[in-house]
Amino acid sequence: MPICVWVLTIIIGLTTAVSARDIVVAIGGEPDTGFDPVQGWGDYGSPLFQSSLLKLDADLNIVGDLATEWTLSEDKKTWVIRLREDARFSNGTPVTAEDVAFTYNTARDAGGLVDMTVLREARATGPLSVEIELTEPRITFIRRLTTLGIVPQSSYAKDYGRAPVGSGPFQMVEWREGETLIVEPNPYWFGGEVGFDRISFIFGDEDAAVAMARSGEAQLVAVPPSQADDVPDGMYLIEVESVDNRGLMFPMVPATGETTQEGAPIGNDVTSDRAIRVAVNQGLDREALVALALNGHGKPAFGPADDLPWDNPDAHIPGNDIAAAIETLERAGWLDNNGSGLRKKDGIPAQFKIVYPAADSVRQALALGASKQLKALGIDAQPSGRSWDEIPRLMHSNVVVFGWGAHDPSEMFNLYSSNKAGVATFNPGFYANAAVDAAFAKAEAADGFEASLPHWKAAQWDGTTGFGSKGDAAWAWMVNLEHDYFVADCLDIGRVQVHPHGHGFPITSSITDWKWTCE
């Protein structure tokens, strides 16, 4: 027994305090393939080691990072970019136009997680000027300009991801895969001072992260909604809004016996009726769903990009209006003549399945909640938990609870363009509206990102049609998740962007503004 006491004393004695200028954060985000932008690193949050040509500020406005000027050519196919002069990689060499061209062309050919298929070629036209030529007008390519970190041509090799050298705010000290990443400020960074001598990122599962917050070992921790209400001593809770959304995807065409190449049936005779889809949008009580499925940690969702610059609030129907929903159904001929509580039209009962991935408790709660609410409208929506392996076979003929949310309007294109009908999981309902497709085309061909915004909004609702719930109501969006973090009282993380799909690492988008406010 005395030995135990002795050992414990030593252990306690060795618990050393981390100095104030070092912080430990547990927010996930470890890239399996390493910190290589060409392979897809740096999609959300800070790329830490690299800087990109442009970046998004806290309000998601596009501002320069490595680029001081960026203009789109007359034919809207070439970005002409001027680089800042003072940018250097962490090994001291300057960032040149050659490096930028090399990065873009390499990413195009790499077969990694950066979709660069629209890039024809990037060319250095001077020491600090680059031209990036696309195969066709594509305004959303600007999203690549805000995320693709520039790598040095001279030292880029296959193992770059494990020993990254870039012109970003930090340099890597050590990466113990699966456990921790330790970074320190890059002395050559052009953005000035960073508030910490060292930042350590701890990976591992959520419970371990929360345990570290409670034991005082970590100063910033991503926390699941179920644990967010029990804030540890010395920390405060921040609740970040997101477009990490969940909604009901409707099959848009009637069932005609048609199938996909893989043999999955297409179409649904109930949800192909706009009245059903509009009524669902009108009838859902989204506040109740937030309380039920998210424990209150979220807010209602009305479209795929709520509160983002390309969101069109006019396209939304507020919902929670059962009377209006019933009126819509009655007017369209969905009647309950025998008092059974189930409406019918032309002998077809208002009945469909809501498929959700069985392992996802939030989506399960949403499916069950929606099903219950729709009963009041005389619609029999049966929740059906399936595995992700089964869902691709079911998603063209059943309502499915999906989740999306990106800082990129091209997501709307992917979800609602007739081009993407039945492609991967993009537009499983085979939605097609020529006016929407035309609006997308106009948006992509716009003079600049600002100029594209009205077209993205018009795709949602242009006063007569659109994919939004006032128009075709191709989806019934339900909730946006809220991303919760425990933050040490002494840590100021500045203003935070609306989060995309993905909880944790996006919080680092403001990392260079983080400050320690205690001494």
Partner 1 sequence: MTGWLGPLLVERAIRLCWLAPLAAVGLFILVSNAPVDPIEAYVGARTALIGPEQREAIAAAWGLDQPATTRFVLWVRNVASGDFGDSILYNAPVVTVIMDRFPASLLLVSLAWLLSFVIGTGLGIVAAMTPGSRVDRAIRAYAVVLTSSPGFWVAIILISIFAVGLKMLPSCCALPPGTTTAEATFWAQGRHLILPVVALSVTGIAPLVLHTRARMIGFLESPPAQHLTAHGASQRAIAFGAGLRHALGPALTVHLAGAGELFGGSILAETVFAWPGLGQATVRAATGGDAPLLMGIALATLLFVFVGNMLADIAARLVDPRLRWDKSR
The verdict on 375 binding partner 1 (CB under 8 A) reads: no
Helix/strand/coil for 64: strand
The verdict on 207 binding partner 1 (CB under 8 A) reads: yes
The C-alpha atoms of residue 420 and residue 424 are separated, in whole angstroms, by 8
CB-CB neighbours of 33 under 10 Å: 13
The verdict on 229 binding partner 1 (CB under 8 A) reads: no
Least distance from C-beta 365 to partner 1, angstroms? 21
408, 462, 472, 482: which one binds partner 1 (CB under 8 A): 408
Using CB under 8 A, which of the segments 74-82, 420-428, 474-482, 486-494 binds partner 1?
420-428
Least distance from C-beta 61 to partner 1, angstroms? 20
Closest CA to 236 of 487, 482, 26, 483: 487
By beta-carbon proximity to partner 1, the closer residue of 85 and 205 is 205
Beta strand 351-357 with 399-404: parallel, antiparallel or unpaired? parallel
Using CB under 8 A, which of the segments 109-117, 234-242, 318-326, 462-470 binds partner 1?
109-117
By beta-carbon proximity to partner 1, the closer residue of 16 and 337 is 16
Q: How far is CA 365 from CA 282, 357, 372, in A?
A: 20, 11, 11
Q: Side chain identity at 485, as an amino acid letter?
A: Y
By beta-carbon proximity to partner 1, the closer residue of 86 and 174 is 174
The verdict on 359 binding partner 1 (CB under 8 A) reads: no
The verdict on 423 binding partner 1 (CB under 8 A) reads: yes
By beta-carbon proximity to partner 1, the closer residue of 95 and 391 is 391
The C-alpha atoms of residue 245 and residue 481 are separated, in whole angstroms, by 6
At a CB cut-off of 8 Å and minimum separation 6, what does 225 contact?
Answer: 294, 295, 297, 298, 481, 482, 484
CB-CB neighbours of 122 under 10 Å: 23
The verdict on 43 binding partner 1 (CB under 8 A) reads: yes
By beta-carbon proximity to partner 1, the closer residue of 29 and 319 is 29
CB-CB neighbours of 358 under 10 Å: 17
Helix (H) or strand (E) holding 374: helix 361-375
Least distance from C-beta 387 to partner 1, angstroms? 8
115, 133, 239, 513: which one binds partner 1 (CB under 8 A): 115
6, 68, 125, 208: which one binds partner 1 (CB under 8 A): 208
Least distance from C-beta 248 to partner 1, angstroms? 17
The verdict on 117 binding partner 1 (CB under 8 A) reads: yes
Give the dihedral of Cα atoms 197, 202, 207, 211; nearest 10 deg.
-40
DSSP secondary structure letters along 161-226: GGS---SSSEEEEEEETTTEEEEEE-TT-TT---S-SEEEEE-S-HHHHHHHHHTT--SEEEE-GG
The verdict on 261 binding partner 1 (CB under 8 A) reads: no
What burial class does residue 209 get, using C-beta atoms within 10 Å of its C-beta: 0-12 exposed, 13-18 middle, 19+ buried? buried
By beta-carbon proximity to partner 1, the closer residue of 249 and 278 is 249
What burial class does residue 346 get, using C-beta atoms within 10 Å of its C-beta: 0-12 exposed, 13-18 middle, 19+ buried? exposed
Least distance from C-beta 68 to partner 1, angstroms? 27
By beta-carbon proximity to partner 1, the closer residue of 39 and 78 is 39
Number of residues that bind partner 1 (CB under 8 A): 69
> Would you state the structure tokens that stand for residue 464, as one six-digit string?
């007569």
The verdict on 386 binding partner 1 (CB under 8 A) reads: no
Q: 296-335 burial by CB neighbour count: b if 16+ within 10 A, else e?
A: ebbbbbbbbbbebbbbbeebbbebbbbebbbebbeebebe
> Would you state the structure tokens that stand for residue 62, as one six-digit string?
């596009």
The verdict on 42 binding partner 1 (CB under 8 A) reads: no
Least distance from C-beta 181 to partner 1, angstroms? 11
By beta-carbon proximity to partner 1, the closer residue of 63 and 208 is 208
Beta strand 119-124 with 129-134: parallel, antiparallel or unpaired? antiparallel
Torsion sign, CA atoms 411, 415, 417, 420: positive
The C-alpha atoms of residue 156 and residue 159 are separated, in whole angstroms, by 8
Least distance from C-beta 478 to partner 1, angstroms? 18
Per-residue binding letters, 165-204, with partner 1 (x by CB under 8 A): --------xx-xxxxx-x---------------x-x-xxx
The verdict on 20 binding partner 1 (CB under 8 A) reads: no
64, 216, 224, 296: which one binds partner 1 (CB under 8 A): 216
The verdict on 84 binding partner 1 (CB under 8 A) reads: no
The verdict on 112 binding partner 1 (CB under 8 A) reads: yes
Beta strands in 35-84 (DSSP E): 54-56, 62-64, 67-72, 78-83
Least distance from C-beta 334 to partner 1, angstroms? 33
* Interface residue list for partner 1 (CB under 8 A): 8, 10-12, 14-16, 18, 22-24, 26, 32-34, 36, 39-40, 43, 110-117, 143, 159, 161-162, 173-174, 176-180, 182, 198, 200, 202-205, 207-208, 211-212, 214-218, 387, 389, 404, 406, 408, 410-411, 414-415, 423-426, 501-502
